[in-house]
Structure 1
Amino acid sequence: MNGLKPIFEPSSVAVIGASNNPKKFGHIILKNILDSGFRGKISPVNPKEKEILNLKCTDSPANLKEAVDLAVLAIPAELVPKAIRECGQKGVRGAVVISGGFREAGEKGTELEKSLVSEARRYEMRIIGPNCQGVNNPYHPICASWPLFTLRGEIAILAQSGTIAIAFADWTSLDHLGFSALVSMGNKADVDEADLIDYFSHHGGTRVISLYIEGISHPQKFLKALRDCRKPIAILKSGRTGRGKIAAEAHTSSLAGNDEIFDGLLKQNRIYRAETFEEFYDLAKALAYLQRPSGKRVAFITSSGGAAVLAIDTADKLGLEVPTLTNEMKDQLRKIVPAGASVNNPVDLTGDGDAPMFKKVADLVRPHFDTVVYVFGDPIEGASEIVRSDANELVIFMGGAEVERTEKTLMQKRKIPVFPTPERGIKAYSQLHKFSLD
């Protein structure tokens, strides 16, 4: 799989630029590799230190005494090409270059980047970066990045921006969903988005690939990777506007390209492009954890009339169907719901609705619809016990009381995604519906 196994599944790692200073990246990364549960040999490299975090130090890559699969470099840019050469001479097969000061920094940095790529290719070494925030694979535990995340999930986070990658990862952590891998691509001097799509299309822990990019390195290679990938891909590409393209080039020296052409390529290959960061996250979450609907008929069950109206407005705009219930279903529902509750669609249980009532209504309407949407707008104790992970059900939790937080946590620990607003939940579901039709 394109020579990336030494980077994502190393049996040994050297941290070049490791430090005893807890504020330095070389210290933070070394500590996170240790704390992530990495089971292989770890070699800190620093000519000024004898020992770091109870590990014996080597003064240079040239003097590494044992074979190393992966080198992580956090040293000044001007020292990187030589370090890559020494790593190559010692048989290192992959490197993650955290250091900045390359192509994104101007002409001198561009020459340094060319030099590091030349050295890497001489020794058939694959490079992530430079100017990146590292990699994290919780399935082969190694966090050569920061901050430390260890929860396993099913979404691979591939991003040209370290901040975007970490923010996405933080949301998966807060939602108790985790991720299958995190890669901050940086300048993509060697390994690019196409290489990563190819690798994670075969990665056992990954169900969905999420990709944030500012520009495409090799369009034809990228297009082939999209066509060959058998897993759903959610994409957020910035640099849509004139000013955005300028900002993208300043950030990682990316050529943002013609946005209309890019959009057309994605549509031809049925790849979903998010408009915003929130939509990007929601779409990946839906693709990873929601059942694929067989149609677009949606039943809403709610304890909040206002929240349900917002959900239905969004559903209507996006082409979903919200059919009125049959008279027979209405008669059956009146035996279940509180007096005065609405038995249309949505079925509004009002503030008197409890978890058993939600379940009875869902069981009654489920056979007649493609998806049941729960819109919880009041403290519903036991809500987590009635939502099924094996059925076409979508959960929207409004409210922030302790009961809601507890129930939401219980659901997401069962890998049932919960959406914080009607608009976000319905938008993600509508994209999922389109995916299921392709």
Structure 2
Amino acid sequence: MSLRSFFDPKSVAIIGASGTPGKGGYALIENMTKTDFKRKVYPINPKRREILGLKTYPKINKLPEVVDLAIIVINNEAVPQMIDECGSFGIKNVIIESGGFAEASERGKELEKDVLRKARKFDMRVMGPNSIGMIDTSSGFSTPYVPIEAVKKGRVAFVGQTGLLESVFIPLIQNIGVSKVVCMGNKCDVDECDVLEYIIDDSSTDIIAMYIEGIRDGRRFIKIIERSEKVLIVLKGGRTTYGARAVSSHTGTICGENRVYDALFEQYNIIPVKSFEELFDLVKVFISQPFPNGNCVGIITVTGAGGVTASDCCEDNGLEIASVSSRTLEKIREVYPTWAPVKNPLDVWSAIEKTGSEEVYRRATEEFLADGGVDAVIPVIGAVSWMELDIRLFLHLKKKYPQKPIILVGLLGEPDILLRWKKILEPEIPVFPTAERAIKALALLEKFGRKSILKKNKMLRNPH
């Protein structure tokens, strides 16, 4: 059964709708009014006549039609009975946003089993429980029970067993742009395979970023990703003993062995990360930059020490410091004092004193981009007022050299400057506060691109 009604329902019932600001059932309705979602919304509340201008209904069976989707946000003890009522009325798709199920207690586990038994009796699909639902920027559908602003459209789908993606992390993903955000909760029915199967066929999505605590059906998961050409980045929770214990109280999931997941990710070119910070770093780079033709990097830095540490980080992550041509060095030397050494990594401090920040960074970046031996460029600039330059110069260079990655580092001196640079450059050029984070992201971009080419060549040689 397709999950279309979870992402783009023609009609929705909100069971537990509230007229009290601050309540989850109020935020649900309020969020839908802020988006482009123009379908029918039916609040269920026996004590009110209307909420935010929408007529309310006392019970699910009093609705004028059988809705595509019901969202339940009521006390956990009442949920199994509500599944019965929804099923008897003919509703086939339900999101349970209530908590207090398998993630909470033995009683919660029994309630969750009861929910699943009743849902199966009606051939009903259930997302959750303990789910915050989803956001679909194509349809304008938004179900979080916390207040959020409209989310910017983009090409990245975020899927996970966490509501953080649709609440706390919304400001982080706004610059990136989103196609879909899905919180599966406890996965009593709809799981990562169901969601992946739907999203890999979604034309509005190029990258899938996931937070998972376990995979229920490994064989099905493999079959799905084998036919997908989308980038898949995965943060696997519960890698340690303590983490696995925390998972059991978060979603009630059994984590599985790390070595099995590591082998799966390596074989099928899935990109593993170890933190949400790294997840967002990679998404920023993958959504905006082309795959480099090789692993040779040009680094432009404002300090000698920065060049040394960046070189170490490149080698640690499988990248090489590019050997640039003598012609390139001669062109760059024109903005340097005669006594200063010119080599990669490029320390531009003395050149800035002679020529000025903007011209030095423009010249060095463009010459590195034009050099056939350089596959990607990382300019490192101090995010401080006395080094200010027109940061838009990098956007002009990206347009001129679209085939090579440019990743900017603004060494965090003044936070306001770094934030301003991000607003100007992202998502076209990702901006990081450290060279180490930029280099790690670039290294994974290069590795994924290289393995993808090998995979395509193998498929061409063995089409069947």
1:108 Cα deviation from its structure 2 partner: 2.4
Tell me if structure 1 keeps the 8 A contact 2:328–2:368.
yes
1:119 to 1:343, Cα distance in 2 relative to 1, 3 A: same
2:2, 2:114 → 1: CA distance?
A: 20
Tell me if structure 2 keeps the 8 A contact 1:36–1:148.
no
Tell me if structure 1 keeps the 8 A contact 2:299–2:346.
yes
Partner of 2:378: 373
1:234, 1:159 → 2: CA distance?
A: 11
2:114, 2:4 → 1: CA distance?
A: 24
Check if 1:160 corresponds to 2:171.
no
2:337, 2:209 → 1: CA distance?
A: 43
Describe how 1:36-51 pairs up with structure 2 within 5 A: 36-51=35-50
Check if 1:292 corresponds to 2:291.
yes
Q: What's the secondary structure of 2:295's corresponding residue?
A: coil
Q: What's the secondary structure of 2:28's corresponding residue?
A: helix
5+ residue gaps in structure 2?
A: 452-464
Deviations along 1:376-406, one digit per CA (max 9) or x if unpaired, are 2254422223231623211112233544432
1:66 to 1:347, Cα distance in 2 relative to 1, 3 A: same
2:172, 2:303 → 1: CA distance?
A: 26
Partner of 1:130: 129
Q: What's the secondary structure of 1:118's corresponding residue?
A: helix
Partner of 2:461: none
Partner residue of 2:431 out of 399, 403, 418: 418
Partner of 1:318: 317
1:147, 1:308 → 2: CA distance?
A: 44
Check if 1:344 corresponds to 2:347.
no
1:20 Cα deviation from its structure 2 partner: 1.0
Check if 1:148 corresponds to 2:156.
no
1:401, 1:104 → 2: CA distance?
A: 39
Q: What's the secondary structure of 1:105's corresponding residue?
A: coil
TM-score by length of 1: 0.93
1:16, 1:338 → 2: CA distance?
A: 72
Q: What's the secondary structure of 2:407's corresponding residue?
A: strand
After superposing the two structures, state which structure 1 stretch, 331-340 or 124-133, moved more.
Answer: 331-340
**In structure 1, what residue type is equivalent to 2:83?**
I
1:312 Cα deviation from its structure 2 partner: 2.2
Q: What's the secondary structure of 1:195's corresponding residue?
A: helix
Q: What's the secondary structure of 1:383's corresponding residue?
A: coil
1:338 to 1:156, Cα distance in 2 relative to 1, 3 A: farther
Tell me if structure 1 keeps the 8 A contact 2:237–2:243.
yes
Partner of 2:96: 97
Partner of 2:362: 359
1:101 to 1:418, Cα distance in 2 relative to 1, 3 A: same
1:68 Cα deviation from its structure 2 partner: 1.5
1:288, 1:65 → 2: CA distance?
A: 44
Q: What's the secondary structure of 1:256's corresponding residue?
A: coil
Deviations along 1:251-297, one digit per CA (max 9) or x if unpaired, are 11110111111111111111111122211221222222221111001
Check if 1:383 corresponds to 2:416.
no
2:177, 2:170 → 1: CA distance?
A: 7
Tell me if structure 2 keeps the 8 A contact 1:304–1:375.
no
TM-score by length of 2: 0.88
After superposing the two structures, state which structure 1 stretch, 367-376 or 335-344, moved more.
Answer: 335-344
Partner of 1:334: 333
Partner of 2:69: 70
1:370 Cα deviation from its structure 2 partner: 0.7
After superposing the two structures, state which structure 1 stretch, 361-370 or 399-408, moved more.
Answer: 399-408
1:249, 1:338 → 2: CA distance?
A: 62
Check if 1:427 corresponds to 2:427.
no
Q: What's the secondary structure of 2:20's corresponding residue?
A: coil
Partner of 1:256: 255
Q: What's the secondary structure of 1:244's corresponding residue?
A: helix
**In structure 1, what residue type is equivalent to 2:447?**
K
Partner of 1:88: 87
Q: What's the secondary structure of 2:126's corresponding residue?
A: strand
1:92 Cα deviation from its structure 2 partner: 2.8
1:261 to 1:404, Cα distance in 2 relative to 1, 3 A: closer
**In structure 2, what residue type is equivalent to 1:357?**
V
Q: What's the secondary structure of 1:103's corresponding residue?
A: coil
Partner of 2:460: none
1:341, 1:377 → 2: CA distance?
A: 20
2:312, 2:267 → 1: CA distance?
A: 29
**In structure 2, what residue type is equivalent to 1:362?**
T
After superposing the two structures, state which structure 1 stretch, 25-34 or 160-169, moved more.
Answer: 160-169
**In structure 1, what residue type is equivalent to 2:105?**
G
1:334 Cα deviation from its structure 2 partner: 1.1
1:118 to 1:346, Cα distance in 2 relative to 1, 3 A: same
Partner of 2:179: 180
1:340 Cα deviation from its structure 2 partner: 5.2
Tell me if structure 2 keeps the 8 A contact 1:169–1:178.
no
**In structure 2, what residue type is equivalent to 1:372?**
V
5+ residue gaps in structure 1?
A: none
1:37 Cα deviation from its structure 2 partner: 2.8
Tell me if structure 1 keeps the 8 A contact 2:288–2:428.
yes
1:213, 1:19 → 2: CA distance?
A: 31
Aligned Cα root-mean-square deviation (Å): 2.0
